[in-house]
Amino acid sequence: MRVTPDKLAEFRAEMPLAEFTTIHLGGSAQYFIVCRTVDEIISAVSFFQTTGFPVFILGGGSNVVFPDHGVRGLVLKVELKGIRLDEQGDCTVLVANAGESWDDLVKLSVEKNLAGIECLSGIPGSAGATPIQNVGAYGQEVKDTIISVKALDRKSLDIIEFSAAECRFGYRRSRFKLDDRNRFVILEISYRLIRSGEPALKYAELRDYMESKKLHQGISVGDKLGAVREAVLELRRKKSMVIDPSDPNSRSVGSFFVNPVLADGKYGDFLERLKRYGLGPAPSYKSEEGIKVPAAWLVENAGFRKGQRRGGVGISTNHALALVNYSGTTKELLTLASEIEDAVGDKFGIKLEREAVIIE
């Protein structure tokens, strides 16, 4: 098909992107469209296939950093709305379209007394992003509740339904983030929630907080889910991990780096280095995949501190893992990120992985 100016005119040209992201960075999209139906997505994706221009899929914008010079091709914002609750025995299946706000889903589940995602309160972004990196926090991960994910294959334009096993979930990853990166547009996710289930209180920080405030004593199961949600929101607010226009520290993508999981040999090498530098023990947690070490600890012990500034960007005053845009540029942000990566690599022999999606 020849690319006609008429067809391109259906797309908004030179759309500034910064306001579509929680970190408020980046230039303009050459072309931009908001899609509210699956047909609109298919039409835009198939047309852009004929142009040869790249297509970038945007959800809630909470985990993406656009370049200062903008994005060539199309930025397609998925705003598929719609929620369904299907009763199945003791469970309720929450079926959500990808453009639903994630935190609205968590709020709804807690209000309906459905357990399974209460610890994932206050995470910005859309439901569609959750299977991509197997979003998790405070002892829960979406892989624990996801039954299936429907996605559009951008090449064949087929809609495929993946079971949870087929999503190949791991710590902050899935097939959609690794082997099949940029291949699919997530359309719909089904989460299995337990009716009147007990909240998950596996995470020490959350449990301690609930205990210190006596939040879970003498209340019904339904109220317990609400209490956990409030506690998680409070913990996240303290770390500026809830988007709040009045909190300049929350102009971020949340955690910029993934907490590294070290295999045995790597962990041994890390312990050797701690000895060599005369550093006390680092916090560490056993997981199925190895030993997890908090990236924030590595950042602070590699010579950076909370509140440190570099021009218009810096490290949040409330969490060393959040890089914040106060009034800066993507170039400044990525320079700071590289500086941190180099320092952590040199000192601890650990290569930090960026959790944020950085668009070139």
294 binds ligand NAP (CB under 6 A): yes
Q: Say if residues 139 and 202 touch (Cβ distance below 8 Å).
A: yes
CA dist 249 and 257 (Å) reads: 16
Number of H helices, E strands in the chain: 8, 20
Identify which of residues 44 and 340 has a Cβ nearer to ligand NAP in the complex. Answer: 340
Identify which of residues 113 and 325 has a Cβ nearer to ligand NAP in the complex. Answer: 325
Q: Say if residues 322 and 22 touch (Cβ distance below 8 Å).
A: no
Identify which of residues 198 and 205 has a Cβ nearer to ligand NAP in the complex. Answer: 205
CA dist 324 and 317 (Å) reads: 9
Which span (25-33, 101-109, 173-181, 289-297) binds ligand NAP, by CB under 6 A?
289-297
Return the exposure string of 253-291: e unless at least 16 CB atoms fall within 10 Å of the residue's CB, then b. Answer: bbbbbbbbbbeeebbeebbeeeeeeeeeebebeeeeebb
Per-residue x/- marks for ligand NAP, 196-225, CB under 6 A? -------xxx--------------------
Per-residue x/- marks for ligand NAP, 303-332, CB under 6 A? ------------------x-----------
131 binds ligand NAP (CB under 6 A): no
292 binds ligand NAP (CB under 6 A): yes
Looking up tokens 């810096």, which residue turns up? 314
∠ CA 50-177-297 to the nearest 5 degrees? 140
Within 8 A by CB and 6+ apart from 335, the residues are: 310
Amino acid identity, residue 237? Answer: R
Helix (H, G, I), strand (E, B), or coil: what is residue 313? Answer: strand
- From candidates 77, 150, 154, 239, binder to ligand NAP by CB under 6 A: 239
Give least dist CB 357 to ligand NAP, A. 11
143 binds ligand NAP (CB under 6 A): no
Looking up tokens 């950093």, which residue turns up? 65
Identify which of residues 30 and 249 has a Cβ nearer to ligand NAP in the complex. Answer: 249
Please compute Rg for the chain using Cα positions.
21
Q: Say if residues 37 and 159 touch (Cβ distance below 8 Å).
A: no
- From candidates 86, 285, 303, 305, binder to ligand NAP by CB under 6 A: 285
Per-residue x/- marks for ligand NAP, 163-182, CB under 6 A? ---------x----------
The CA-based dihedral angle spanning residues 253, 257, 259, 265, taken in that order and rounded to the nearest 10 degrees: 170
Task: Give me 71's structure tokens.
Answer: 């994005």
Which span (7-15, 33-41, 133-141, 307-315) binds ligand NAP, by CB under 6 A?
133-141
- From candidates 259, 301, 316, 330, binder to ligand NAP by CB under 6 A: 259
CA dist 151 and 164 (Å) reads: 13
- From candidates 97, 240, 255, 330, binder to ligand NAP by CB under 6 A: 255
Q: Say if residues 17 and 26 touch (Cβ distance below 8 Å).
A: yes
Question: Shortest CA distance to 316 belongs to which of 300, 332, 302?
Answer: 300
Residues 79-118 that bind ligand NAP (CB under 6 A): none
Residues 23-52 that bind ligand NAP (CB under 6 A): none
Give least dist CB 256 to ligand NAP, A. 9
Give least dist CB 95 to ligand NAP, A. 22
Identify which of residues 77 and 172 has a Cβ nearer to ligand NAP in the complex. Answer: 172
User: Which residues are known catalytic residues?
Assistant: 172, 255, 355
Which residues would be at the binding site for ligand NAP (CB under 6 A)?
A: 133, 135-138, 172, 203-205, 239, 254-255, 259, 285, 292, 294, 296, 321, 355
